[in-house]
Amino acid sequence: MAASKKAVLGPLVGAVDQGTSSTRFLVFNSKTAELLSHHQVEIKQEFPREGWVEQDPKEILHSVYECIEKTCEKLGQLNIDISNIKAIGVSNQRETTVVWDKLTGEPLYNAVVWLDLRTQSTVESLSKRIPGNNNFVKSKTGLPLSTYFSAVKLRWLLDNVREVQKAVEEKRALFGTIDSWLIWSLTGGVNGGVHCTDVTNASRTMLFNIHSLEWDKQLCEFFGIPMEILPNVRSSSEIYGLMKAGALEGVPISGCLGDQSAALVGQMCFQNGQAKNTYGTGCFLLCNTGHKCVFSDHGLLTTVAYKLGRDKPVYYALEGSVAIAGAVIRWLRDNLGIIKTSEEIEKLAKEVGTSYGCYFVPAFSGLYAPYWEPSARGIICGLTQFTNKCHIAFAALEAVCFQTREILDAMNRDCGIPLSHLQVDGGMTSNKILMQLQADILYIPVVKPSMPETTALGAAMAAGAAEGVGVWSLEPEDLSAVTMERFEPQINAEESEIRYSTWKKAVMKSMGWVTTQSPESGDPSIFCSLPLGFFIVSSMVMLIGARYISGSWKINLRSN
């Protein structure tokens, strides 16, 4: 029997999408942007202490290899020849910090994840050294001094991990965000691996000057970071090196973008003023500001959007960052056990269609934009004896939407021209209740592409368009048209505003739970270690009245 003929689809491009919760490898047709196959592996998160979040860099690397191999197997079953894969792009969770030994290839500590809060005392001591009239950190990086970014995580590793200190002293240490760790490993590791990052990931370290597009000597001296351990900074679209192992050995890695920049490219937000919101572990609203750095007066970040080629211009973005979005669903699954799978949240929320006055502020890692309030912690308030798990599930989805409303309001104030609609993407957008809630709470249409994998698509586009690859055109006339699903607001504007103003009251209640004293100092505030369940009970104790009037619960909370 003759062997079945392999399908000829023209040039294909692969994309590694390494996120906080999972790793995926996806393969696209470069002429049509059609997703042909993919494989996904969930990644463990470790919480060794209160506020600490870590991951195993080797597990992350192995998951990438596994996803590549499994996707190639699936392509084979579809009679698609993997030799047509001409390039690979990398998209990654940003800020997460890895230090490894360049002689052995072994990580010297777990990856310290972007959500991690252990560096709060480091941030407080560093902030005292910044002159009030000259915040050179923010003016050079576009970022506030926060536990969120890589520089303070790297400072903590240098101060607290002897293996890291020793490797730096002996010139064996390399630092990188997840993209650097993956590209170095995939291009050979100890046998000539390429130690690099791209401008988008570099711009999230707090060590990178977003104007000169170089590591900044003053910033490195301020944080006490030796510059020799930093990766070379490249554009987001060029050949960095070749795959040295696995089914795709010899294929160039030629695209690299932090996940939110990749989604901006994948949503084709190439014009000044175009914006997208990605719903993943966190929630990230980016607006393209063109070749100009726009600094926010309302709590947003200024960041590098992309630079699609060595000789191409850099584009910037304003960003609103929310720490906890999809992570709240995972918390309801893994910590409270009220759902068995993440998909069940939609079913629970649909059963009640309302939170009945219950509000959930998931400030597990403090509050990011627009507040930048590390003392906040998660609360659920407005509880009555009527409240059940369905209402809490609905309140969790509403929380994602309310947080998006806060950063959209900030962006509208900074840009001066309100968005007429919101382009969305990310895993949570498959939840139709969430999308409808988002349209209701924003009171503008929400527009979702039929193919939601825009982060991976953006990385694939950057890889396929790289000089020396040239299989993906980024010219406007060549970009594939994308079919969209549209969600229109279905409530009146007044009701939307009432719900939003009540949410903001709940946010105020979430602040100030944690004192500035470090839990490691031996005399922590009691609130540093109390579980969120304490705040749920506290919310019930605070309730002194609840009445059902005109189709909604009226709840009075005693003031503190």
Percent above pLDDT 70 for the chain: 89
pLDDT of residue 481: 66
Asked if residue 140 lies in contact with residue 59, where contact means CB atoms within 8 angstroms, the answer is: no
Q: What is the mean pLDDT of residues 467-491?
A: 82
Report the amino acid identity of residue 273: G
Residue 307 to residue 261: CA distance in whole angstroms: 10
- The token duo for 132 is 């009030």
Residue 369's alpha-carbon distances to 146, 322, 374, 497, 547, in angstroms, are 11, 6, 11, 20, 34
pLDDT of residue 322: 85
The model carries a pTM of 0.84
Residue 245 to residue 251: CA distance in whole angstroms: 10
pLDDT digits (tens, 9 = 90+) for 242-258: 999 888 999 999 999 99
**What secondary structure does DSSP assign to 33-99, as a single string?**
--EEEEEEEE---B--STT--EE-HHHHHHHHHHHHHHHHHHHHHTTB-GGGEEEEEEEE-SS-EEE
pLDDT of residue 273: 85
Residue 168 to residue 162: CA distance in whole angstroms: 10
Domain boundaries, the chain: 12-258
Given pLDDT bands bounded at 50, 70 and 90, which one contains residue 6? Answer: low
Q: What is the mean pLDDT of residues 353-359?
A: 87
Q: Pick the closest to residue 279 from 422, 403, 429 (CA basis).
A: 429
Q: What is the DSSP letter of 336?
A: I
Q: Between the CA atoms of 235, 239, 245 and 248, what dihedral angle is there, to the nearest 10 degrees?
A: 110
Q: Is the pLDDT of residue 396 over 80?
A: yes
Q: What is the mean pLDDT of residues 274-283?
A: 88
pLDDT digits (tens, 9 = 90+) for 524-545: 333 333 444 444 434 433 333 3
Given pLDDT bands bounded at 50, 70 and 90, which one contains residue 15? Answer: very high
12-258 homologous superfamily? ATPase, nucleotide binding domain (3.30.420.40)
Instruction: Mark 382-399 as b/e (b = at least 16 C-beta within 10 Å).
Output: bbbeebeebbbbbbbbbb
- The top-scoring range by mean pLDDT among 210-214, 344-348, 357-361 is 210-214
pLDDT digits (tens, 9 = 90+) for 79-126: 999 999 999 999 999 999 999 999 999 999 999 999 898 998 899 889
pLDDT of residue 552: 40
> Among 134-148, 362-376, 503-517, where is mean pLDDT lowest?
503-517
**What secondary structure does DSSP assign to 385-450, as a single string?**
TT--HHHHHHHHHHHHHHHHHHHHHHHHHHHSS--SSEEEESGGGG-HHHHHHHHHHHTS-EEEES
Q: Is the pLDDT of residue 554 over 50?
A: no
Q: Is the pLDDT of residue 548 over 80?
A: no
- The token duo for 390 is 């369905």
Given pLDDT bands bounded at 50, 70 and 90, which one contains residue 516? Answer: low
* Helix (H) / strand (E) containing 100: strand 97-101
pLDDT digits (tens, 9 = 90+) for 134-166: 789 899 999 989 999 999 999 999 999 999 999
pLDDT digits (tens, 9 = 90+) for 427-449: 888 889 999 999 999 988 999 98
Bond before 370 cis per omega within 30 degrees:
yes
